[in-house]
Amino acid sequence: MFAKILIANRGEIACRVIRTARKMGVRTIAVYSDADARSLHVEMADEAVHIGLSPVGESYLRGDKIIAAALATGAQAIHPGYGFLSENPDFVDQVVAAGLIFIGPSAASIRAMGLKDAAKRLMEKAGVPVVPGYHGEAQEIVLLASKAREIGYPVLIKARAGGGGKGMRRVEHPDEFSEALSSARREAKAAFGDDRVLVEKYVDKPRHIEVQVFGDNFGNAVHLYERDCSAQRRHQKVIEESPAPGMTEALRKAMTDAAVKAAKAIHYSGAGTIEFLYENGEFYFIEMNTRLQVEHPVTEAITGIDLVHEQIRVASGGGLSVKQEDIKFNGHAIECRINAEDPRTFTPSPGTITHFHTPGGLGIRVDSGVYSGYKIPPYYDSLIGKLIVHGRNRVECMMRLRRALDEFVVDGIKTTLPLFRDLVGNADIANGDYDIHWLEKYLAKED
Ligand code: ADP
């Protein structure tokens, strides 16, 4: 086991990783930018290294400074959290070249799944169902337009390097194709430095259902059930739950089998997520996230397995601590992402938190990176915390969620808490009756 690890991240996820490392007796090194000198992750870690100015390009994306900090402090491994450098295979190569261990998959696995077009080709070969569409190399506009016609409108143009819903355009009609393509390409170029796209069938009313997978370096790969992340706005998740409402045993078996097949196809090691769209009895692979996800605690709640513990264990050369047949799930869990944002317009609301009180009691977990008096810097993601609620069944979970939301106090800034208080009383949410468009429609009606 490692004696010391460095956490190349900030906010709630850095704090969350530190907690597990401490439980395992592993010392932790935080890194921080100018704006984060008084951040919670810096307080919580055993040691902290300043790595640069506030903008991410000067700090949390500076792989060289992060590796130098690890070497200077005697850390043996680097946990990337999510976002920032977590899915950057070049960073993984640099970590390994420096004689350190990356707590995550190999650079080769990340490369195999990093581009949506290559990932889809790989999955097709492995016999995993993918969204029908064009995911080839050639990118001439005439070819893409004719592929779109073949697929049948509406189609979705997607940046192959995409993430966070960027570089994605729904196209209703052939006349709109060329303009949508240019704007998707522009956005993709600016965000990812890569303007290549794929064209997919636009799935009309799907649910987003993903499967948590885990592999080790001894050829084992398991799944830890599914999460439903259909409550989205602008293709970004807002609420996640597990198990998926209405999931049947037969569908679960088919989806989790496909997910494990996908993980095995790339000899996957560490925590990963296989994302699918599900509609009318059919499911289709959309992408794999080769990292720990924001919503991983709902899986931890229902399985009782600490995913970060498994990550550290596997990276340090151990096998998975559980076999598939030992992984059972218990009850129901829901996560709400609490962002420092206006709950209606979703514009960021940085500023000072004057009062921060988290709910407690049976089945409640709050993962956050803030405290009363903390000043939220404007430079980073607006996620300030997550409320994760577990109950013996979905009804109990919803009751507990309502109570926990009532108890949660964040003063001084705007947050998404009022939105969740609204949603928890909604009949469709209470019944688990929502697809990926439901939330946008609900918000449009409320305006
Ligand atoms: P990103 O990497 O940008 O998050 P994804 O491919 O994971 O992109 O898709 C994000 C979300 O966009 C999905 O959860 C789903 O809501 C929607 N989406 C993706 N592909 C399709 C599709 N073919 N049809 C309809 N909606 C889609």
Nearest to 145 by CA among 188, 176, 185, 186: 176
Does residue 377 have a cis peptide bond before it, meaning omega lies within 30 degrees of 0?
no
Check if 200 has its Cβ closer than 6 Å to any atom of ligand 1. yes
- Ligand 1 midpoint to CA 198 (Å): 12
Domains in the chain, please, with CATH?
4-102 (3.40.50.20), 132-201 (3.30.1490.20), 207-446 (3.30.470.20)
Whole-number Å distance between alpha carbons of 370 and 181: 40
From start to end of 202-344, where are the E strands? 207-215, 221-233, 236-242, 270-279, 282-289, 332-339
131, 198, 286, best to mutate for ligand 1 pocket (most atoms within 8 Å of CB): 286
What's residue 330's pLDDT?
Answer: 98
Question: For the chain, what is the total number of helices (H) and then of strands (E)?
Answer: 15, 21
Residue pair 344/443 in contact (Cβ under 8 Å)? The answer is yes
Q: What is the pLDDT of residues 384-436, one digit of tens each?
A: 999 999 999 999 999 999 999 999 999 999 999 999 999 999 999 999 999 99
Q: What is the pLDDT of residues 143-169, one digit of tens each?
A: 999 999 999 999 999 999 988 889 999
Residue pair 48/4 in contact (Cβ under 8 Å)? The answer is no
Residues 6+ apart with CB under 8 A from 145: 174, 177, 178, 181
Whole-number Å distance between alpha carbons of 399 and 345: 27
Amino acid at 439: L
Nearest to 29 by CA among 13, 11, 9: 9
Whole-number Å distance between alpha carbons of 214 and 368: 25
Max Cα distance, the chain (Å) = 61
What is the pLDDT of the chain when averaged over all its residues? 96
Q: What is the average pLDDT across 134-138? A: 95
- Ligand 1 midpoint to CA 276 (Å): 9
CB atoms within 10 A of CB 267: 15
90-94, 187-191, 361-365: range with lowest mean pLDDT: 187-191
Whole-number Å distance between alpha carbons of 266 and 17: 26
Check if 310 has its Cβ closer than 6 Å to any atom of ligand 1. no
Name the DSSP letter for residue 164.
T
pLDDT surpassing 80 at residue 447? no
- Ligand 1 midpoint to CA 344 (Å): 22
Rounded to the nearest angstrom, the gap between the alpha carbon of residue 140 and the centroid of all alpha carbons in its chain is: 32
Sort 116 into a burial class: Cβ within 10 Å, 0-12 / 13-18 / 19+: buried
Neighbouring-strand partners of residue 20: none
Task: Measure the CA dihedral 251/254/258/259, to 10°.
Answer: 50
- Ligand 1 midpoint to CA 349 (Å): 26
- For helices 249-265 and 116-125, the axis angle rounded to 10 degrees is 110
Q: Whose CA is nearest to atom 12 of ligand 1?
A: 235
CB atoms within 10 A of CB 53: 14
Q: What is the average pLDDT across 21-34? A: 98
pLDDT surpassing 90 at residue 234? no
Residue pair 77/5 in contact (Cβ under 8 Å)? The answer is yes
Does the predicted model carry a pTM greater than 0.85? yes
What's residue 387's pLDDT?
Answer: 98
Whole-number Å distance between alpha carbons of 125 and 127: 5
Check if 162 has its Cβ closer than 6 Å to any atom of ligand 1. yes
Q: What is the average pLDDT across 299-321? A: 97
Confidence of residue 446 (pLDDT cuts 50, 70, 90): confident
Active site (catalytic) residues? 291
What's residue 165's pLDDT?
Answer: 85
Percent of the chain with pLDDT over 90: 96
Q: Whose CA is nearest to atom 23 of ligand 1?
A: 202
Sort 360 into a burial class: Cβ within 10 Å, 0-12 / 13-18 / 19+: exposed
